Amino acid sequence: MKALIGEFLGTLLLVLLGDGVCCNVSLNKSGMKGGNTVHILIGWGMAVMVPAFAVSGLTPLSSFNPAVTIGAAMRGGFAWSEVPGYIIAELLGGFCGAAILMVLYGDHIKATDDDDVIRGCFATGPSIRNTGLNFLSEFVATFVLVFTLANIPGPAGASNVSWVLVYGVIVACGASFGGLTGYAMNMARDSAPRLAYQLLAPNKGKKDPDWAYGWIPAVAPILGAICASLLFNVLAGL
């Protein structure tokens, strides 16, 4: 239960800080509206790193991401029996983080007339809609993330220096792939806030959570994590 609470709180903080950056630079009347991509890259990198430090005493895995959780189980560092509970905690944390943001930015959401802009604060979307390439983008970005996490040396993980390295990976993935699909790489960061948008955000006339695309950031990261972990296992056995 302690670890599940940690995963819930960590994912809540991740979405609160990460989607908070998107709200801050996108919603009308925000004092930081118009912030650039560097603002978002740094903010999202910190949004992943800060929760890892904040709740590492509760959940040693500190994944806050179903794909990372499944990858850890595949590499033998995590019990499969605990995976479902972790994923549920992560999804609930993502939903609650988005719900809190909708309260904090409630006035700014009211001042923003474009449903697509509001949805974009909570869920990713492709710059060019191409199912195959959009899927591949999320797959590759998550492959890079999970393969890098798997190869972080043990001493770095034990000293929590690994969380600083994770910041670097998130920023690198965003800098390289963010313009394609928004580099979700995480169902809890995309599907859960997308559902919160669908259920809680106001309707400005054409509200659409876009689940026609939303299955991609749910499925592709998991498959990317599986392939990255399989490759790690093969290389570790050489």
CATH of the domain at 135: 1.20.1080.10
> What's the rounded Cα separation, in Å, for the pair 97 and 222?
21
**In this predicted structure, what is the pLDDT of residue 35?**
85
> How many residues would you count in the chain?
238
- For residue 34 the two structure tokens come to 């118009």
pLDDT for residue 157 = 58
Instruction: Report whether 199 contacts 98 (CB < 8 A).
Output: no
Residue 75 DSSP label:
T
Q: Which residues of 97-124 are buried (b: 16+ CB within 10 A; e: fewer)?
A: bbbbbbeebeebbeebeebebbbbbbbb
CA 195 to chain centre: 14
Strand, coil or helix: what is 64?
A: coil
Q: What is the pLDDT of residues 14-44, one digit of tens each?
A: 999 999 999 999 999 999 998 888 999 999 9
pLDDT of residue 156: 58
Highest mean pLDDT among 58-67, 92-101, 155-164: 92-101
Distance CA 46, CA 59 (A): 18
| Two tokens, residue 149 | 């996490």
- Which carries the bigger pLDDT value, residue 88 or residue 62? 88
Phi-psi domain of 64 (left: phi exceeds 0; alpha: psi -120 through 50; beta: other): left
Q: What pLDDT is attached to residue 14? A: 97
For residues 197 and 77, the model is more confident at: 197
pLDDT tens string 136-158: 999 999 999 999 999 987 665 56
Of 1-15, 84-98, 150-164, 179-193, where does mean pLDDT reach its minimum?
150-164
Mean pLDDT (whole number) for 62-72 = 94
CA torsion 109-111-112-115 (nearest 10°) is 60
Whether residue 55 contacts residue 62, with contact meaning beta carbons closer than 8 Å, is answered with yes
Which structural domain, as residue segments, surrounds residue 71?
2-236
Mean pLDDT over 182-200 rounds to 97
> If we measure between CA atoms, which residue out of 36, 68, 1 comes closest to residue 224?
68
Mean pLDDT rounded to a whole number for the chain: 93
Q: Is 61 helix (H, G, I), strand (E, B) or coil?
A: coil
Sign of CA dihedral 217, 176, 100, 94: positive
| Residue that is written with structure tokens 């988005």 in the block | 98
The answer to whether residues 18 and 102 touch, using CB atoms and an 8 Å cutoff, is no
- Contact in structure between 148 and 70 (CB atoms under 8 Å): no
Total domains present in the chain: 1
Question: pLDDT exceeding 90 applies to what percent of the chain?
Answer: 81
Calculate mean pLDDT across residues 126-140.
Answer: 98
